[in-house]
Each structure stands twice: as C-alpha cells, then as structure tokens.
C-alpha cells in the first residue's frame, strides 16, 4: 500500500451525527494489529503512537472494558487482600563465568516474507568485571560472538536487536532512563530513539519453567537521518517503529523472554519481528 494514501473513516457520535476523520495506512495497520487484543498495554501503545488517532476513542473504550471486569466481578469467595502494582524492583544477581542460557529464537509469519525456522540461541558468560558482563553468543552452534554488556539501559544488536539483557543483574533504583541505541544503522542512515517503562509484574510460563517476572515495555521509533539521500517515497517508508516487550526474572540473572513487533513502517533498520524465549539455563 502506498504510504501516502489516506483513507477516510466516519465515526458515529451520539445523536446520529457523523464526523469524517482520516487515518493513514500506518495507523490502520497498527490498529488492526491490536484491535482484538486482550492486553491493555498493547492498546495503550496505539494511543501513545496516535493520541489523536481515528481509533483512539475505540482504544480507550476497549481498555476500559478490559479493566472493568476485574473490578466489578462478584466475589464468590472471601476477597483476597490487594496491593498496588509494585514499581520495578530488580534484585541483583550478578551472573558468574560459566552461567549459560539457551533460548528459542523464532520469527512470526509476516505476509509477503518467507518462513524462517526457529533457531537455537545460546549465551554463556565468559567474564565479569568493571561493571560489565562479557558473554559469548552462539546461534545454532556457530562460532561464538563476544560482547561486553554494561549495566545501563540500551538497545543492542546481539543476533537480533534486544534491550539490556542483564538489567535484572545490576542494582537499580527502580527507574528506567531513555535507552541508548547501539544498532549500527541507527548511527548512520537512520535516526532512532526509544523510551522504556515498567508495565508491572507477571507470572510467565516458559519452556524453562514458570517465573514471576518484571515486565518492561520499550517503544522505539526511527526515521531517515538528515543526511540520508533517496527518493521521497523510499524515505517515507523508512519512517517507523516497533514495540519490544521484555520479561525479567531476577533469580535467572538475565531476561527470560523478548517479544519484538513492528508497528509502523516498511523499511526498518533492524529485524523488528521476533520472539526470544528461554528454554533452559544453568547458573551458579
């Protein structure tokens, strides 16, 4: 679809009146990807990207409907004490040399692209010191790639573009900063920026076991850098973004799951659609 195309949408208001608004193909694509979601965070991601979008009233109504049952459902047993959502509280467990995590790297089917089989993604700590973790990444048993991972917040290429895998290993004050973008295309032909926030806690089932996790949502956007040359249509396709969700279990010492989805754009600087889920791990 031509990114310059504009589709008209009519929203019916009270009293039978209608107001014509417009939605770009990018907004429609984003909305279609979350409209049936039962996760309020995904609908909220649409609102943050398109706060005045055509579908914003529907998104807010869906969020309200999803949150209401938990508040209004009749109690059939004595109510359990409830507490407010806890802020990010990463209990440090610094990995040690020899610690190993094995993930399944898979790529969801995207229309118009070839299927990609899942891959085995193994990370092993080689050394720890100087506020950094030196680890080795091997995919499908290939030659290991060595990387130094600090304790800050950053988006980094490690096979795929991930967010601070050892965030749970370093002591923190519960606040996240604007992540640094380390993907090479974002240092050249693209300008990239991201924000991160804690969604809350979630019990997550993985092939490696069940964990009580801290869930973090990263929203990344990109556009051509000021010096990038090209046809206006192609440059327009380079404007886009993704959501990256990460689940951390402090006792594991590393993230247990990454989920990345392209939300807007046709020519991203990275592979923006993937799942990286923990299959097994061994820590000291």
The pLDDT of 176-200, averaged and rounded, is 92
Average predicted confidence (pLDDT) for the chain: 82
The pLDDT of 137-143, averaged and rounded, is 95
3-state secondary structure of 109: coil
In what order do the strands lie in the sheet containing 154-158?
Answer: 160-163, 154-158, 180-181
pLDDT, residue 196, reads: 94
Look up the CATH architecture of domain 100-282: Beta Barrel (2.40)
pLDDT, residue 11, reads: 37
The pLDDT of 36-48, averaged and rounded, is 80
3-state secondary structure of 79: coil
Model confidence pTM above 0.75 = no
Is residue 62 very low, low, confident or very high in pLDDT (cuts 50, 70, 90)?
Answer: confident
pLDDT, residue 105, reads: 97
Q: Are strands 209-224 and 119-129 parallel, antiparallel or unpaired?
A: unpaired
- Tell me how many degrees the CA angle 134-186-278 measures, rounded to the nearest 5: 45
pLDDT digits (tens, 9 = 90+) for 85-114: 444 445 556 899 999 999 999 999 877 677
Q: How far apart are CA 210 and CA 203, in angstroms?
A: 7
Residue 64 has pLDDT above 60, yes or no: yes
pLDDT, residue 215, reads: 94
Output b/e per residue, 217-231; b: 16+ Cβ within 10 A.
Answer: bbbbbbbbeeeeeee
pLDDT, residue 5, reads: 37
User: Residue 163 in contact with residue 218, Cβ under 8 Å?
Assistant: yes
Spans of all domains in the chain: 7-71, 100-282
Q: How far apart are CA 206 and CA 105, in angstroms?
A: 13
The pLDDT of 180-195, averaged and rounded, is 94
Six token digits for residue 224: 């051509």
């Amino acid at each position: 679809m031509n990114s310059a195309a504009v589709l008209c949408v009519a929203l019916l208001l009270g009293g039978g009146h209608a107001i014509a608004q417009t939605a770009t193909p990018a907004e429609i694509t984003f909305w279609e990807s979350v409209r049936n979601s039962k996760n309020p965070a995904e609908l909220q991601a649409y609102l943050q990207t398109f706060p005045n979008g055509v579908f914003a009233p529907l998104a807010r109504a869906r969020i309200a409907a999803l949150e209401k049952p938990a508040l209004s459902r009749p109690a059939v047993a004595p109510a359990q004490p409830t507490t407010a959502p806890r802020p990010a509280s990463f209990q440090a467990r610094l990995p040690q040399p020899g610690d190993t995590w094995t993930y399944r790297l898979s790529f969801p089917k995207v229309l118009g692209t070839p299927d990609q089989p899942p891959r085995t993604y193994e990370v092993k700590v080689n050394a720890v010191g100087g506020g950094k973790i030196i680890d080795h990444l091997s995919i499908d048993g290939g030659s290991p790639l060595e990387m130094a991972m600090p304790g800050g917040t950053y988006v980094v290429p490690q096979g795929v573009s991930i967010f601070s895998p050892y965030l749970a290993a370093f002591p923190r004050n519960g606040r996240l900063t604007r992540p640094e973008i380390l993907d090479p295309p974002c240092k050249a032909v693209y300008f990239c920026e991201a924000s991160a926030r804690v969604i809350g806690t979630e019990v997550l089932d993985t092939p490696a076991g069940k964990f009580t996790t801290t869930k973090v949502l990263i929203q990344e956007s990109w556009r051509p850098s000021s010096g990038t040359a090209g046809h206006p249509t192609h440059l327009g396709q380079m404007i886009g973004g993704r959501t990256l969700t990460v689940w951390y279990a402090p006792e594991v010492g590393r993230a247990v799951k990454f989920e990345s989805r392209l939300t807007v754009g046709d020519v991203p600087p990275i592979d923006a659609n993937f799942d990286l889920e923990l299959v097994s791990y061994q820590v000291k």
